[in-house]
Amino acid sequence: MLRRAQIPPGTTDQHLLDHRGPSDWVHTDPWRVLRIQAEFVEGFGLLAELGRAVSVFGSARTRRDSAEYHAGLRLGTALAEAGYAVITGGGPGTMEAVNKGASQAGGVSVGLGIELPFEQSINDWVDLGLNFRYFFARKTMFVKYAQAFVIMPGGFGTLDELFEATTLVQTRKVTRFPVILFGTEYWSGLINWIRSTVLPAGKISPADPDLLSVTDDVDEVVSLINASAQQQSDQAAIEHLAEQQSRLAGAGDAQ
């Protein structure tokens, strides 16, 4: 409360509306916090009712006439026909192929773009899209709304998503679900290095390499995802039953 000489001239509304003032405040950290919050709110709002979904990662540089592009088309189609939405980075290349396959099959095709200095706009086959400024906000959406990750051949961005996902599963920050590498020839060198160098050096646990599955078969990708989903459903049912039995036992003791 302010009285007498402490009362400033004018009102807060007046200062807000009458004076434009300097604009450098929009580049300060407190303002960035609000922008970051807005990205989370937008992402959660857009995807909250998405249903079952699979995040698929791959190169933006994949050519449309390549075998990898056509594999992406087949994968997007197969996931849509199995009842899964697909979530990609929304860009060209492999991402476009997966979105296109899902969209043409009548599935839900999601693209989560990112502001970059050299690329890229949301591809034309995204039916539900959002552009992000911040990688970490975008990554949260890939993880939160997916039942599985499929990693197709790609570069540093794809590798980043691969190891981010694997670390979250390894550390149990997310419920264990499949991390599937598509393309045995492309990924064999990495898998061999993990098993022959990283594991013997004691940098990971003996069971950690098994967090990754590798295949060239679209049908196997869908089967792995379905099996994991069924396992999680069965586990949830067991936990629910155990909780009910515990409550009934507690009620009996109370009587």
What digits encode the pLDDT tens for the residues 152-197?
Answer: 999 999 999 999 999 999 999 987 789 999 999 999 999 999 999 9
pLDDT band at 61 (very low <50, low <70, confident <90, very high): very high
Give the model's confidence band at 3: pLDDT under 50 very low, under 70 low, under 90 confident, else very high. Answer: very low
Q: What percent of the chain has pLDDT over 90?
A: 69
Q: How confident is the model at residue 16 (pLDDT cuts 50, 70, 90)?
A: low
Residue type, 68: E
The pLDDT value recorded for residue 199 is 98
The DSSP annotation for 172-217 comes to: TSS----EEEE-HHHHHHHHHHIIIIITTTTSS-TTGGGGEEEES-
With beta carbons less than 8 A apart as the criterion, state whether 89 and 83 touch: no
Q: What pLDDT band is residue 205 in, cutting at 50, 70 and 90?
A: very high
Residue 86: predicted pLDDT = 98
Q: Which two tokens stand for residue 177?
A: 């679900």
Q: State pTM to two decimals.
A: 0.84
122 within 8 A of 131, measured Cβ to Cβ: yes
Q: Are 80 and 86 in contact (CB under 8 A)?
A: yes
DSSP string across 102-158: HHHTT--EEEEEE--SS--PPPTT-SEEEEES-HHHHHHHHHHT-S-EEE-S--HHH
Segments in 19-93 forming alpha helices (H):
29-47, 67-81
Domains defined along the chain, listed by start = 32-246 (3.40.50.450)
Distance CA 171, CA 179 (A): 14
Integer Cα distance of 71 and 150 in angstroms: 12
- Is residue 151 within 8 Å of 182, Cβ to Cβ? yes
φ/ψ region of 137 (left if φ > 0, alpha if ψ in -120 to 50, else beta) reads alpha
Average pLDDT of every residue of the chain: 88
The angle that helices 67-81 and 94-104 make with each other, rounded to 10 degrees, is 40
